[in-house]
A and B are shown apart, each in its own frame.
Chain A
Amino acid sequence: MERSHLLRLYAQMLLIRRFEERSAEMYALGKIGGFCHLYIGEEAVAVGAVDALRPDDYVFSAYRDHGHCLARGSDPKRVMAELFGRAGGLCKGKGGSMHLVDAERRFMGGYAIVGGHLPLAAGVGFAVKYRGGDQVVLCFFGEGAVPSGACHETLNLAALWDLPVLFLCENNRYGMGTPVERAVALYADVAQNAAAHGIDSGRVDGMDVLAVREAVGKAVEQVRSGHRPYFLEATTYRFMGHSMADPAHGHYRTKAEVDEAKKRDPLLLLRTRMLGERLATEADFKTIEQDVGKIVREAVEFAEASPAPSESALEDDVYAAGGGPS
C-alpha cells in the first residue's frame, strides 16, 4: 500500500478518535443528549472496511455509528450538528447519535434495536440483485446481535437467495456488560454462526487497519464477483464504556484488561509500523494531528452555530410530502 494511502487511513482513524473525544466532552457539557456510544478503540474496523468499498456500495450500521458514518466520508460538521440535535445535522436533528443517515453516500443508517437492521441490509442486497447491479452491502453489527432471531433469519435468507451482503461482525467482546462467552454459544469462533447457514466466513484482527483493509477487500471482491454473502468477524475492543452512562471499567471488566487492550490501540499500531518502516516521520503525524484538530474544532463550531430545528418541522417527514399516490 502506498504511503499516501496509509497516511489517509491513519488520518481517518484519528479523525474518528478526536471526534469521539470531543463528543464525550460535549456530552459532559450537556450539548449532546440521550444515549451516546463512542467508537474509540474500534476505529480500524470502520476505516479499513469502508476503504474497500466503491462509492455506489451501501453501508449499514447499528447504534455505535459515528465512526462508520465518518469513515464513509460524511461531513463531520453535519455529524456533530446531528449529535447536537440541530437543524444543520445530517437528519435535521430528527435522528440523533444512534440514527445517523447520509443517503447521498449510501450510508443507510444507524439502527438501535440490536439485530434489527440486518434484514434491511439483506433487503438492499435483494434490490441490487433484482436490478442486476453489482453493488455490495456492507453491514456492521456487534457480536451482541449474533444470537438474535433477526440475525439468523437474515443469514438464512441471504444464503438462500445469494444476496450480495458482507456481514461484518465487530466483536468487541461485550454486549453492554455481558461478555461474548456468556451470550453466544459458538463464542470461540463467532463466524460459525454463519457457517451453519452455508455462508463463507473469516476472521480478522480488528485492531490492525491494514489487516482489516486486506480482509474486507478480499471479502468485498468475493461478494461482488461471486454474488454470495460473506461473514467476517473483526475482533476488536472498545476502550470506553458501553455508552456515556457507563464507566470504562468496573463491574464487568477490570482496568488491567482495558489497559492491556490499549497496548494494541489501532492508531498506535499503524503509527509504530509506519515509523518503523520509515514510511512516515513524526512530522507527518504532527501535521495530521493539526489538520484533524481543525476539522473537529470546526465541526463543533458549526454545530454550536447551527439553529435548533424549528418547532414547525416537528411533523415534517412523518409521511411523504403530499402523502398520496405518486
Chain B
Amino acid sequence: MTLTYREALNQALCEEMRRDDRVFLIGEDVGYYQGAFKVSKGFVEEFGPRRVVDTPITELGFTGLAIGAAMAGLRPVVEVMTFNFAILAMDQIVNNAAKIRYMSGGQIGVPMVIRGPGSAAHQLGAQHSQSLEAWFCHVPGLKVVAPATPHDAKGLLKSAVRDENPVIFIEGQLLYPVKGEIGEGDYTIPLGLAEVKRTGTDITIIAYSKMLHQALEAAEILSREGIQAEVVDPRTLRPLDLDTLAASVKKTGKAVIVEEGWPFAGLGAQIAESLYGRVFDYLDGPIVRVTGRDVPMPYARNLEGAAVPDARRVVEAVHQVLNR
C-alpha cells in the first residue's frame, strides 16, 4: 500500500486512539480545522472533542497540562503546530516531562508524545525554519524520533504512543506529501533502531528526516561515479542505535553525517564523537559533517537554498573523504 507521510501519521494516530481510550490529541487547530498540516483529518468527527482537543495559542499551558494528564495516567499526544513554537514550552518539557520520573524516584511517569513538524520548508523565514532536535536530544529523560519515510513514520509513531517515556517526535515539514510503500496492518517499529536504507561498501552516509532523501539522492549520483555509498537512517535520535551505525562504518571505514541543523554543538558532532569512541581504528580518515549553515534562516529563496544541505553538498563531502 502506498501512502503519504501525512496519511501514515494520520493512520498511526487513528489506530492508537481506537486501540486505547487513554490516548488523546491536543493542540492548536487539531480538531475542527483538521490540523494545520491535516495530520488529524477526520479525527474530531470520529473521536469527538473530548479526545481531539483544540487549544488556545498557549504552548506552555497546554503542553504542561498534557504532562499533568500523563502523570494521572492518560496518554496525551501533543501537536505543536511547528517545533519552533515548542520553545515556548521548553520549561515544561525539560523541567517537568523529562525529570518527573527521576525526581520522584520512579513514582510517577510521563508517558506522552510531543509531535509536529520541524526544519525548514519554503521561505518561512528565520522563526519558522529551525531544526531543534539537538536541543531535545541533550536532555536525559526524553526520547527523540525523526522519521524520514511514511513506513517509518507510522511504525515509530505507534511505538512512541505506547512508550512509557516522553517522546519528542519531529516530523519533516516538507515530507508530509511524500509518498511511500507502507507495511501491512498494525505494525510498530521499535524506538532506538536504525535502518540501513541503501547498502554499499565504499562509504557510510548517516542522515535522518528530510536529509535522508538528500543522502539517497547523493548516493544515486555517486553510484554513477562508481562509488557505492551505504546510507543509514538512525530514525530515533535518542536513544541512538550506535550498534547499527558503527557496524556500517566498520565495514566502509568512512563516514559522512548529514543534518539540517546548525553545525555548532549540533547532533552530527555527537554522532561523530560516539562513532570515534567505537570505530576509530577502522576509520580511514576523519568523519565529515554536512550541516545547515551557521545563520538564522534567511528568507530569500537562493539564500535559503544555500543554507540547507542538498545532495550536491553531500556528494562534495563524500569526495572530500575519498580524496577525489
Contact = CB atoms under 8 A, between A and B. Distances in A.
Interface residues of B, number: 48
Most A Cβ at <10 Å: residue of B55, B61, B92, B107: B61
Given A101-B105, A109-B103, A123-B67, 15 more contacts: A91-B104, A91-B105, A94-B105, A111-B96, A120-B64, A123-B70, A126-B68, A128-B72, A150-B61, A150-B64, A156-B58, A317-B105, A317-B106, A319-B164, A324-B191
A325 B111 CA distance: 10
Contacts of A124: 68-69, 71-72
B69 A127 contact: yes
B107 A91 contact: yes
A58 B162 CA distance: 25
A111 B95 CA distance: 9
Given A90-B105, A101-B107, A318-B101, A325 B67 contact: no
Interface of B: 24, 50, 55-56, 58, 60-74, 91-92, 95-96, 100-109, 111, 140-141, 143, 159, 162-165, 188, 190-192, 239
22 contacts: A58-B72, A90-B105, A92-B105, A101-B103, A101-B107, A116-B91, A117-B96, A119-B60, A119-B61, A119-B62, A119-B64, A123-B68, A123-B71, A125-B68, A126-B68, A127-B72, A149-B60, A317-B104, A319-B101, A319-B141, A319-B143, A320-B111
Nearest to B92: A119
Contact of B64 (A101, A109, A118): A118
Contacts of A116: 64, 91-92, 95-96
A108 interface: yes
Nearest to B101: A317
A77 interface: no
A113 B95 contact: yes
Interface centre among A101, A149, A317, A322 (most CB of B within 10 A): A317
Contacts of B143: 319
Nearest to B58: A153
A134 to B, nearest CB: 14
A254 to B, nearest CB: 35
Interface of A: 58, 89-95, 99, 101-103, 108-109, 111, 113, 116-128, 130, 149-150, 153-154, 156-157, 160, 316-320, 322-326
B236 to A, nearest CB: 11
A45 to B, nearest CB: 22
Contact of A127 (B55, B74, B100, B105): B74
Contacts of A126: 65, 68-69, 74
B24 A123 contact: no
B164 A326 contact: yes
Contacts of B140: 318
B92 A130 contact: no
Contacts of A323: 163-165, 192, 239
